[in-house]
Amino acid sequence: MSNKSHQRNDDKDNKFNKIAIAVTVVLVVVLIIGGYFIFFHNKDNKINEEEKDVAYTSLIKQISDGEIEKIEMTVGSTTVKVKEKNNEEEKEVIIPSTQAFVELIQEKVAEGNNIELIQNPENIILRIGETLLGLVPTLMLVALFVLVFKMQGLGDKGKVYDATTAKEKVKFDDVAGLDEEKQEMIEIVQFLKEPEKFVEMGAKVPKGVLLYGKPGTGKTLIAKAIAGEANVPFISMSGSEFIEMFAGLGASRVRKLFEKARKVAPCIVFIDEIDAIGSRRTNASGAESENNQTLNQLLVEMDGFEKDEGIIILAATNRPEMLDKALLRPGRFDRQITINVPDKKGREAILKIHSKGKKVAEDVRLDNLAEDTAGLTGAELANILNEAAIIATIEKHEAITNEDLDEAFKKVTVGLQKTSRIYSEKDKRITAFHEAGHAVVSKYLPTQDPVKEISIIPRGMAGGYTMNRTTEDKNYISKTEMEERLVVLMAGRAAEKIVINDISTGASNDFEVATKIAKDMVTVYGMSDVVGTISINVERDPYELQLLGDKYADVIGAEVKILLDAAYARAQKIILDHMDKLNAVAETLLEKETIGEKEFDEIFK
For ligand ADP, the binding residues (CB under 6 A) are: 1-2, 175-178, 213, 215-221, 316, 350, 353, 378-379, 382
Cα(324)–Cα(113) distance, rounded to whole angstroms? 88
Cα(259)–Cα(301) distance, rounded to whole angstroms? 9
Segment near Zn ion (CB under 5 A); pick from 205-213, 404-412, 442-450, 492-500: 492-500
| 461 vs 547 by CB, closer to Zn ion | 461
The candidate with the shortest Cα–Cα distance to 253, out of 147, 145, 141, 155, is 155
In Å, how far are 100, 123, 152, 289 from 248, measured between CA atoms?
A: 52, 49, 11, 9
- Least spacing, CB of residue 344 vs Zn ion, in Å: 21
- Least spacing, CB of residue 386 vs ligand ADP, in Å: 9
Is 116 one of the annotated active-site residues of the chain?
no
Segment near Zn ion (CB under 5 A); pick from 118-126, 196-204, 485-493, 521-529: 485-493
| 343 vs 510 by CB, closer to Zn ion | 510
| 220 vs 431 by CB, closer to ligand ADP | 220
The candidate with the shortest Cα–Cα distance to 37, out of 76, 73, 72, 89, is 76
30 binds, among ligand ADP, Zn ion, none (CB under 5 to 8 A by kind): none
Write down the catalytic residue from 290, 380, 407, 435: 435
- Least spacing, CB of residue 483 vs Zn ion, in Å: 18
| 138 vs 505 by CB, closer to Zn ion | 505
Phi, psi of 538 (to 5 degrees): -70, -30
| 380 vs 427 by CB, closer to ligand ADP | 380
Tell me, what amino acid is at 395?
A: E
For residues 557-578, one letter each, b for 16 or more C-beta atoms within 10 angstroms of the residue's C-beta and e for the rest, the string is eebbeebbeebbebbbebbeeb
492 binds, among ligand ADP, Zn ion, none (CB under 5 to 8 A by kind): Zn ion
- Least spacing, CB of residue 419 vs Zn ion, in Å: 22
| 37 vs 234 by CB, closer to ligand ADP | 234
| 278 vs 492 by CB, closer to Zn ion | 492
The candidate with the shortest Cα–Cα distance to 231, out of 146, 172, 278, is 172
Answer for the pair 276, 325: CB distance below 8 angstroms, yes or no: no
510 binds, among ligand ADP, Zn ion, none (CB under 5 to 8 A by kind): Zn ion
- Least spacing, CB of residue 389 vs ligand ADP, in Å: 14
Q: How many CA atoms lie less than 13 Å away from 547 in the CB half-sphere?
A: 9
Rounded to whole angstroms, the maximal C-alpha distance in the chain is 136
Q: How many helices (H) and strands (E) does the chain have?
A: 22, 13
What is the Cα 495 distance to its own chain's centre? Answer: 41
Beta bridge partners of 315: 210, 271
- Least spacing, CB of residue 152 vs ligand ADP, in Å: 24
Which H or E run contains 314?
Answer: strand 311-317
Answer for the pair 298, 277: CB distance below 8 angstroms, yes or no: yes
Beta bridge partners of 167: none
Query: Is the peptide bond prior to 446 cis by the omega test (within 30 degrees of 0)?
Result: no
457 binds, among ligand ADP, Zn ion, none (CB under 5 to 8 A by kind): none
Give residue number: closest CB to ligand ADP.
378
Answer for the pair 361, 398: CB distance below 8 angstroms, yes or no: yes
In Å, how far are 256, 404, 486 from 360, measured between CA atoms?
A: 46, 10, 51
210 binds, among ligand ADP, Zn ion, none (CB under 5 to 8 A by kind): none
Total residues in contact with Zn ion, by rule CB under 5 A: 2
Q: Is 494 exposed, middle or buried (0-12, 13-18, 19+ CB in 10 A)?
A: buried
- Least spacing, CB of residue 271 vs ligand ADP, in Å: 11
- Least spacing, CB of residue 208 vs ligand ADP, in Å: 16
Work out which of 212, 388, 492, 564 binds Zn ion, going by CB under 5 A. 492
Q: β-pairing, 79-84 with 68-74?
A: antiparallel
220 binds, among ligand ADP, Zn ion, none (CB under 5 to 8 A by kind): ligand ADP
Cα(429)–Cα(434) distance, rounded to whole angstroms? 8
Segment near Zn ion (CB under 5 A); pick from 332-340, 420-428, 508-516, 569-577: 508-516
In Å, how far are 344, 567, 576 from 583, measured between CA atoms?
A: 20, 21, 11
Work out which of 510, 522, 528, 572 binds Zn ion, going by CB under 5 A. 510
Q: Verify binding: residue 239, Zn ion, rule CB under 5 A.
A: no
| 156 vs 512 by CB, closer to Zn ion | 512
- Least spacing, CB of residue 487 vs Zn ion, in Å: 13
Cα(296)–Cα(270) distance, rounded to whole angstroms? 18
Beta bridge partners of 120: 74
| 165 vs 505 by CB, closer to Zn ion | 505
- Least spacing, CB of residue 177 vs Zn ion, in Å: 25
The candidate with the shortest Cα–Cα distance to 455, out of 363, 345, 575, 593, is 593
| 213 vs 239 by CB, closer to ligand ADP | 213
Residue 457, number of CB atoms within 10 A of its CB: 23
178 binds, among ligand ADP, Zn ion, none (CB under 5 to 8 A by kind): ligand ADP
In Å, how far are 70, 334, 415 from 122, measured between CA atoms?
A: 19, 73, 74
* Chain positions contacting Zn ion, by CB under 5 A: 492, 510
**Catalytic annotation, residues:** 435
